Amino acid sequence: MPGRLMSKVALITGATGGIGQATAELFAREGASLVVTDIAQDTADELAARLKAEGTDVLAVRLDVSSPENWSEAIELTRRRFGRLDVLVNIAGVLDWPGIEETTKDAWDQVVAVNQTGTWLGMKTAMPLLRASGNASIINTSSVLGLVGSGAAAAYQATKGAVRLLTKTAAVEYATRGVRVNSVHPGVITTPMIQDVLDEQGDQQPDIVRTPMRRAGSPAEVAPTMLFLASDESSFVTGTELVVDGGLTAH
């Protein structure tokens, strides 16, 4: 049976993190050719080598998503290698926990540069190649903290809320130009970004306590949402947010 992403080329940022790696592995199993990117070249190379050994046509690229020059190089390398780009998955992100008064200007600028500016730069730089596909999909990773307040993580929440509305305006702009744009909003997921907190607090972590399913999710439970949005099965889905949070935002 042909894979759901057969003949598609997908670029994934933050591809070596928890959700990024799970997404890359699932996309590979479904037949996609991949550009896996990370700010650390060695980890991107390791992931690419493993996927290549399993039969995937894959390119590893070092990418600092806050850098316009890095983005231009990554898209040019994609064009040279594959001649096309059908799916862009913006996952790379950083987290800063302090609230309004405790957040420093340097921390604020760093979180905005990666989470918000990086997402915009990815869409901006990749858009010509995506439009040329005629049937492309952009998937931007926001968070449940882009939907509701938590009383902490001021910079992170600000950027994830911005990603949600940036996604919607891009969806409207490109709705008749062959590019769908949607956002995914994970809840508490067992990724390296929050593993220290989960190790320390366990099932008493406040957001887990507030989650009706009473547990954290796994990256493998987020990746299928990415797959749906990347595939032609979601051909009439654009400008929406898909929440993967065990019911956290349901009440």
Over residues 135-178, the pLDDT tens digits come to 999 999 999 999 999 999 999 999 999 999 999 999 999 999 99
Spatial separation of the C-alpha atoms in residues 91 and 83, rounded to whole Å:
23
**pLDDT value of position 195:** 74
Is 156 designated active site?
yes
Band the pLDDT of 2: cuts 50, 70, 90: low
Count the helices and strands in the chain (H runs, E runs): 9, 7
Which of these is catalytic: 27, 71, 82, 156? 156
Residue of higher predicted confidence among 68 and 209: 68
Take residue 170 and report the two structure tokens written for it: 């891009």
Give residue for tokens 């595939």.
231
Q: Where are the alpha helices (DSSP H) in 134-218?
A: 154-173, 195-201, 206-210
Other beta carbons within 10 Å of 112: 18
Spatial separation of the C-alpha atoms in residues 63 and 211, rounded to whole Å:
34
Take residue 91 and report the two structure tokens written for it: 């996952």
- Cβ–Cβ under 8 Å, residues 247 and 212: yes
- Mean pLDDT over all residues of the chain? 95
pLDDT at 1 over 50: no
Spatial separation of the C-alpha atoms in residues 155 and 43, rounded to whole Å:
27
**Mean pLDDT, residues 101-129 taken together:** 98
